[in-house]
Chain A
Amino acid sequence: MTIVEIGLPKRLVEFTLDGESVRVPEGATILDACTAVGKSIPTLCYGDTLKPANACRVCMVEVEGSRTLVPSCSRKVEPGMVVRTDSERTQHSRKLVLELLGSATDLSTTPHVDEWMSACGADPSRFGPDAETKLQPTTVDNPLYVRDYGKCIMCYKCVDACGDQWQNSFAISVAGRGFDAHISTEFATPLPDSACVYCGNCIEVCPTGALSFKREHDKREDGTWDESKQTRTTTVCTFCGVGCNLTLHVQDNEIVKVTSPHDSTVTHGNLCIKGRFGWQHVQNR
């Protein structure tokens, strides 16, 4: 049985989006409205299962009457609002934000970022070869996760997924300040000594590949990771009675990764260590 949340009927709010009148249910964000009418707005820190962090500023749009640009991922549509997603100011902002990010972090495994950069003509190298970066060695202190913080854009999603929004483990937090801000356990203690329960929900939401499953990381390293050869099969986890949906990513008849559908009403994309990592027995042939 599929459960569809119906909820209370919602009023429609009318506003102007890039010169056209659009009606969306009350409470919808500008980003929701853009998605509904088929406009694509780049996002990085936005997560479909998380509250908006408002941190990356890639999705900024112009709202008439507002002194600054506004984040479309969190700003709710108000009646009569006049929104422009493609004005010169928004284009400039998007280009610069992508350039700043690209100048400080390794975006090589961030999906879509190349398209966005070429669409707005972003060139991160123009800050020069001496521009300070966040590049650093990869951290591998356990058999399940790899943390490559040179790719971290500080979107807060892993912290939110680990904390009160989903897992309530609170193993990681943002530490430091300004350009030195980074994701850390207490006193940068190794993950096995921290409160981490290896649910992998932080990796599920990471938008850049800064966090990855060891298996995927190793296969990428040795050049055997090939998504075009992978199938995805969604099934139900057999470990307990909760009924979590598992999506098995299979390459060459081997499970290489397990995720969960974000629209699953049971998991909302989250799993525990068993569903996420407890599949080796399937392959004991």
Chain B
Amino acid sequence: MDLKLLDAEPTEAERVVVDLFTGMGRDQLLPALHAVNDRVGWISQGALNHICRVLHVPPAEAYGVASFYSLFSLTERPAKVVHVCVDLACQVNGAKAVCDRLTDELGPAGAGSGWLRSPCLGVCEKAPAALAFEAGEVAKEQLLAPTHAGEVIAVAAAGPSRVDGERAEVPQAGAPGLRLLKRVGVVDPESLDDYRATGGYQALRTALLLGPAGVIREVSDAKLMGRGGAAFPTGRKWDATARQPVRPHYLVCNADESEPGTFKDRLLMEGDPFAVIESMTIAGFAAGCSKGYLYLRGEYPRALHLLRNAISKARERGFLGTNVMGHEGFSFDIEIRRGAGAYICGEETAIFNSIEGFRGEPRSKPPFPVEQGLFGKPTVVNNVETLVNVPVILTEGCEAYTRIGTEGSTGPKLFCLSGNVSRPGVYEVPFGTTLSELLDLAGGVPPGRELRAVLLGGAAGGFVRPDELDLPLTLEDARAAGTTLGSGVVLVLDDTADLGSFLLRIAAFFRDESCGQCVPCRIGTVRQEEALHRLVGKRPLSTSAADLQLLREVGQVMRDSSICGLGQTAWNAIESALDRLGYAEEATK
């Protein structure tokens, strides 16, 4: 294919970073865009042109891809920018006040004023949060959390220091009985020796002895369900992939954790990165994959640093590469892919398009990933938390594992507590723990306040009322109660929370994050936000009841006819607030 390129030429700095991709192909498009953004802070015509020349990608398509991701800018902007989180947990914890002061002192959000509003940064336990970025020969990123306007203003001027965040902490650190969190905050996340000294790589040894079929049997018998939100049986996924005669098979670890209020995977990756790498290796062994991709959301600089370290150390010591752990014939390696600010890329098929260098739009299913996934080959996609359950199953045995939790929901589960709660953070409890027990663990709402509602499962989840806290946190009980555990979000709202603006933020989130591929979601999320604005602001088109009806009809078509889970669930939380929390009545009064 002859490419017609623009006349624009790259600067020397741009040329140098892009030339490193010489000889590579389309699937390096996202890494190449990152390289330019890291070096100069935006993607110029010359840089994009050169990327297209080197990777042999049509410029229009590369432009389409670059413009898909919110972390990239196709117009010139300064090297320094601070992304200020305005999403759910930060909103509840004063993000608006931060933004108001930034607007006063720096000017309205925009590249020129040095700060941008950002969707959830995944540090909800330290809300409000901001992430400072500065492009350069070595791009710098610094997480500010919890932050305040003064700090953001100072960092926006001075640029981030090289610190990429504090050490991962969980409130339960070191508590006996922890399985998934046992090393988080306790064991040095950079040391492979410390990892091995605390039981690391025993599970992979067991797996290599059991053989792929044996591992799949254990995981299936343990009844491990996916922890990313859809709760699909992991064993079935692995088995279906392993059985495909087509080669190669791929593994994708979905670490694009972007559901507002979710930060459990970040804690796992920052606190126990070797466990993620070992778990991926086991999954790759079981499903017959020789290559695994770890798709990490772009806003997790510390996790990126620690995972890179873990992969390189594992490789050095023969835990990755050819003949893993001396096991003849089993080769496996991992490549990290950084997302670039697109919630939709956490959708299990959008993630393939993103890795392949296309726009992160979901694909139509069927065919399912286990048949035709990444690069059209059979692929296993698993969430980080799902994967780190596997070593627990293999070391404790599937029978012991099934004794944790309940009949229908086995094992330990991580919940992300944030919002108006005394001790926010990630908590590990067995499935079946009630919501009130979990809230007690986190110290409940701050003293002197009253619980108003709990958002369970994230923006795509639903609300639970204070009189429903007996709800046992299991997949089946949540389903029976008409809600979902989703990705484990437990976002607490007390009587000071402004439910109207909270709902508006949910609606804005879905509008912003819709990929735009299908009509119900692309236009429906906009109409949903418009109708909700009228309802909350009490400025009805004709009557509030009519707006409510409109909202319900739009919600229904998004749920019924959207291509993927984003559109299908974009109305869940709002519907639940209207019906379960009685907001419908309040708004139409």
A: residues with CB less than 8 A from B are 52, 54-58, 60, 68-69, 71, 74, 89, 92-93, 96-97, 100-101, 103-104, 126-128, 130-132, 153-154, 163, 168, 170-181, 184-187, 189, 193-195
Does the CB pair B519–A57 fall under 8 Å? yes
Does the CB pair B516–A180 fall under 8 Å? yes
Q: How far is the CB of B385 from chain A (nearest CB, A)?
A: 24
Say yes or no: is B138 at the interface (Cβ < 8 Å to chain A). Answer: no
Given contacts A57-B518, A153-B519, A175-B63, contact A96 B554 (CB under 8 A): yes
CA distance A69 to B567 in the complex (A): 13
Say yes or no: is B117 at the interface (Cβ < 8 Å to chain A). Answer: no
Which of B54-62, B158-166, B470-478 interfaces with chain A?
A: B54-62
CA distance A89 to B519 in the complex (A): 17
Q: How far is the CB of A77 from chain B (nearest CB, A)?
A: 13
The closest CB in chain A to the CB of B70 belongs to: A177
Does the CB pair A97–B520 fall under 8 Å? yes
- Which residues of B in the span 361-382 have a Cβ within 8 Å of any Cβ on A? 364
Say yes or no: is B525 at the interface (Cβ < 8 Å to chain A). Answer: yes
Does the CB pair A178–B515 fall under 8 Å? yes
The closest CB in chain A to the CB of B559 belongs to: A68
Give the contacting residue for A68; candidates B6, B67, B68, B568; CB below 8 A: B568
Most buried by B among A103, A170, A184: A170
- Report the count of interface residues on B (CB-CB < 8 A): 50
CA distance A60 to B522 in the complex (A): 16
The closest CB in chain A to the CB of B546 belongs to: A126
Given contacts A184-B63, A193-B6, contact A168 B1 (CB under 8 A): yes
Chain B 492-521 interface mask (CB, 8 Å, partner A; 1/0): 000000000000000000011111111110
Q: How far is the CB of A70 from chain B (nearest CB, A)?
A: 9
Chain B residues positioned under 8 Å from A57 (CB to CB): 518-520, 561-563
Most buried by B among A52, A74, A97, A130: A97
Does the CB pair B523–A103 fall under 8 Å? yes
Say yes or no: is B64 at the interface (Cβ < 8 Å to chain A). Answer: yes
Most buried by A among B524, B550, B553, B557: B557
Chain B residues positioned under 8 Å from A180 (CB to CB): 516
Does the CB pair B67–A176 fall under 8 Å? yes
Give the contacting residue for A128; candidates B60, B513, B530, B553; CB below 8 A: B530
Give the contacting residue for A54; candidates B3, B48, B67, B563; CB below 8 A: B563
CA distance A74 to B562 in the complex (A): 14
Give the contacting residue for B557; candidates A74, A92, A176, A195; CB below 8 A: A92
Chain A residues positioned under 8 Å from B387 (CB to CB): none
CA distance A128 to B531 in the complex (A): 9
Given contacts A55-B519, A101-B523, contact A170 B560 (CB under 8 A): no
CA distance A154 to B515 in the complex (A): 12
Given contacts A153-B519, A173-B60, contact A132 B526 (CB under 8 A): yes
Chain B residues positioned under 8 Å from A174 (CB to CB): 64, 359, 516
Can you sample 19 A-B contacts with CB below 8 Å? Answer: A54-B518, A55-B563, A57-B518, A92-B557, A93-B520, A96-B557, A100-B527, A126-B550, A175-B63, A177-B67, A178-B511, A178-B512, A178-B522, A179-B511, A179-B516, A184-B63, A185-B59, A185-B63, A195-B59
The closest CB in chain B to the CB of A56 belongs to: B519
Does the CB pair B61–A100 fall under 8 Å? no
Does the CB pair B516–A170 fall under 8 Å? no
Does the CB pair A179–B514 fall under 8 Å? yes
Give the contacting residue for B64; candidates A97, A100, A103, A184; CB below 8 A: A184
CA distance A171 to B523 in the complex (A): 26
Does the CB pair A177–B515 fall under 8 Å? yes
Does the CB pair B519–A74 fall under 8 Å? no
The closest CB in chain B to the CB of A171 belongs to: B60
Does the CB pair B560–A68 fall under 8 Å? yes
Say yes or no: is B244 at the interface (Cβ < 8 Å to chain A). Answer: no
Does the CB pair A96–B522 fall under 8 Å? no
Given contacts A176-B68, A177-B68, A187-B63, contact A132 B524 (CB under 8 A): no
Does the CB pair A54–B364 fall under 8 Å? yes
Given contacts A127-B530, A181-B516, A186-B59, contact A100 B511 (CB under 8 A): no
By Cβ-Cβ distance, the 9 closest A-B pairs, closest first, are A181-B516, A170-B58, A173-B64, A96-B557, A186-B59, A195-B4, A100-B523, A186-B63, A178-B514
CA distance A266 to B561 in the complex (A): 36
Most buried by B among A52, A60, A174, A184: A174
Say yes or no: is B157 at the interface (Cβ < 8 Å to chain A). Answer: no
Does the CB pair A97–B530 fall under 8 Å? no
Chain B residues positioned under 8 Å from A153 (CB to CB): 519
CA distance A181 to B59 in the complex (A): 17
The closest CB in chain A to the CB of B2 belongs to: A195
Given contacts A60-B561, A175-B67, contact A194 B60 (CB under 8 A): yes
CA distance A175 to B519 in the complex (A): 16
Say yes or no: is B556 at the interface (Cβ < 8 Å to chain A). Answer: yes
Q: Tell me whether chain B's interface is mostly helix, strand or loop, or mixed.
A: helix
Given contacts A174-B64, A184-B60, A186-B60, 4 further A-B contacts (CB under 8 A): A54-B364, A55-B519, A96-B520, A186-B62
CA distance A100 to B554 in the complex (A): 9
Say yes or no: is B541 at the interface (Cβ < 8 Å to chain A). Answer: yes
Give the contacting residue for A178; candidates B525, B530, B557; CB below 8 A: B525
Chain A residues positioned under 8 Å from B553 (CB to CB): 92, 96
CA distance A195 to B6 in the complex (A): 9
CA distance A173 to B62 in the complex (A): 9
Chain B residues positioned under 8 Å from A185 (CB to CB): 59-60, 63
- Which residues of B in the span 239-269 have a Cβ within 8 Å of any Cβ on A? none
Say yes or no: is B45 at the interface (Cβ < 8 Å to chain A). Answer: yes
CA distance A170 to B58 in the complex (A): 6
CA distance A193 to B6 in the complex (A): 8
- Which residues of B in the span 5-59 have a Cβ within 8 Å of any Cβ on A? 6, 45, 48, 58-59
Does the CB pair B62–A195 fall under 8 Å? no
CA distance A243 to B67 in the complex (A): 41
Chain A residues positioned under 8 Å from B511 (CB to CB): 178-179
Chain A residues positioned under 8 Å from B530 (CB to CB): 127-128, 130-132
Say yes or no: is B481 at the interface (Cβ < 8 Å to chain A). Answer: no
Q: How far is the CB of B10 from chain A (nearest CB, A)?
A: 14
Does the CB pair B527–A103 fall under 8 Å? yes
Chain A residues positioned under 8 Å from B342 (CB to CB): 177
Chain B residues positioned under 8 Å from A189 (CB to CB): 6
Q: How far is the CB of B375 from chain A (nearest CB, A)?
A: 15
CA distance A171 to B517 in the complex (A): 19
Does the CB pair B519–A68 fall under 8 Å? no
Chain B residues positioned under 8 Å from A89 (CB to CB): 560
Q: How far is the CB of A19 from chain B (nearest CB, A)?
A: 21
Does the CB pair A127–B68 fall under 8 Å? no
Does the CB pair B522–A154 fall under 8 Å? yes
Does the CB pair A179–B359 fall under 8 Å? no
Does the CB pair A187–B6 fall under 8 Å? yes
CA distance A96 to B364 in the complex (A): 21
Chain B residues positioned under 8 Å from A193 (CB to CB): 6
Chain A residues positioned under 8 Å from B58 (CB to CB): 163, 170-171, 173, 195
The closest CB in chain B to the CB of A187 belongs to: B45
CA distance A54 to B362 in the complex (A): 11
Q: How far is the CB of B174 from chain A (nearest CB, A)?
A: 42
Say yes or no: is B209 at the interface (Cβ < 8 Å to chain A). Answer: no
Chain B 567-583 interface mask (CB, 8 Å, partner A; 1/0): 01000000000000000
Chain B residues positioned under 8 Å from A54 (CB to CB): 364, 518, 563
The closest CB in chain B to the CB of A44 belongs to: B519
Say yes or no: is B74 at the interface (Cβ < 8 Å to chain A). Answer: yes
CA distance A168 to B2 in the complex (A): 10
CA distance A195 to B4 in the complex (A): 5
Does the CB pair B560–A69 fall under 8 Å? yes
Chain A residues positioned under 8 Å from B518 (CB to CB): 54-57
Given contacts A178-B513, A194-B60, contact A93 B48 (CB under 8 A): no
